[in-house]
Amino acid sequence: MTNAKYNAGARTLHWLIAILIIANIAGGLLHEPLEKVVSLMPAHKAIGMTILVLSLVRLGWRLTWTAPAYPATMTPLEVLAAKLVHVVLYLFMLAMPVTGWIMASAGKYPLSWFGLFDMPKLPVAKDSVLAGIGHEMHEVGGYLLIALVLGHVLAALRHHFLVRDDILRRML
């Protein structure tokens, strides 16, 4: 057992970004089935760009501190698996917004941040190879991210309810 917690900045950014990502996974999956009822895409894009900025802040902040040590009860393989999943989650926190940004830059709509101001578009031509790659990677990436987040959440719940260590508490 260890009493060390993640610092307040790390915890705040973790949960803020987690909520926004879960909202964007839901929005991405529901925008088509709900398109007759509500247009989810403008909010999806604005939330996604917010995730990009917050993730860059989070990664910058991450370089300034060391995570609390893992309890000795965890095997080296478990520690390695946890760290690997975290690195890949960080990659997806950047790759999903960037591929979405590439795809949306090729579209005809402006990229508005909740109607308050327009965000810049990348120089991506409509129907270009880059726009197509962005679209494909965003779609496949969305499903991979769902699997990753599920694994991550199940691991956290396993630690809390089955192994009964402090892993979840130190992120709360």
Residue numbers at the binding site for ligand HEM (CB under 6 A)? 14, 18, 21-22, 24-25, 28-29, 41, 44-45, 48-49, 51, 62, 67, 82, 86, 89-90, 93, 96-97, 100-101, 103-104, 111, 138-139, 142, 145, 149, 152-153, 156-157, 167-168, 171
Exposed/middle/buried for residue 25 (C-beta within 10 Å: 0-12, 13-18, 19+): middle
Cβ proximity of 103 and 134 under 8 Å: yes
Q: Name the residue nearer to ligand HEM (CB basis): 133 or 152.
A: 152
Q: Name the residue nearer to ligand HEM (CB basis): 62 or 130.
A: 62
Q: Name the residue nearer to ligand HEM (CB basis): 9 or 142.
A: 142
| Residue 13: CB minimum distance to ligand HEM, A | 9
**Position with the least CB separation from ligand HEM:** 28
DSSP structural state of residue 123:
S
| Residue 111: CB minimum distance to ligand HEM, A | 6
Cβ proximity of 91 and 15 under 8 Å: no
d(CA 14, CA 12): 5
| Residue 73: CB minimum distance to ligand HEM, A | 13
d(CA 123, CA 114): 22
Tokens (6 digits) for 29: 């999956």
Q: Name the residue nearer to ligand HEM (CB basis): 100 or 124.
A: 100
Which amino acid is residue 20, in one-letter code?
Answer: L
d(CA 62, CA 44): 26
| Residue 72: CB minimum distance to ligand HEM, A | 14
How far is C-alpha 66 from the chain's CA centre?
Answer: 21
| Residue 25: CB minimum distance to ligand HEM, A | 5
